[in-house]
Structure 1
């Protein structure tokens, strides 16, 4: 099976020993994206809506590097540090997937890197 590392400067660089994404055959596995501004490395967390926007912009940049869009996503996994943000998260997230949203899991976690309130990882088909 072909395995290819995907990397772009238009999404935040990895903050640890991992790749932004790995293409394996016709599947693309994106590492979890924090709401980090790729230019500054700062978190964009003025609100949970802003955090969702930044995470999904980062995801779009990595997908674009592979010739994909949000429509290629088949599964997302969402990590929230506060499940009280669930409704606000859904409100913003649904704007990116108005039709046939991908399968999704949403999990509350104790903490995320850089004290982020949110992380989103995805699997896409190429």
Structure 2
């Protein structure tokens, strides 16, 4: 059962919900930004996302309800942190695979930009 903030327990995380959350490029961008530093905690407004505030809120809710991020309210803002340990426990190597895909895309985009 999710906690009062909508975070599922580790054992309740479902791979289908996580894949659905990661299927959206904006949500994947958020997860990869948080994955760049395990201790990274960022406010929702710190992400440069090309969407309206309501859409941004929706994306963060999907990430939270899937179990990918933990959100904490601090006054008028929310912080976001990737649930590294929980994800590694429930789905070992999922984050490594996601990071690997991002690295592959960056290399491909770099080659395309150089005309290779």
Per the shorter chain, which TM-score range? under 0.3
Structure with higher Rg: it is: 2
User: Which structure has more strand as a fraction of its residues?
Assistant: 1
Task: Normalising by structure 1, report the TM-score.
Answer: 0.27
Task: Normalising by structure 2, report the TM-score.
Answer: 0.28
User: Which structure has more helix as a fraction of its residues?
Assistant: 2
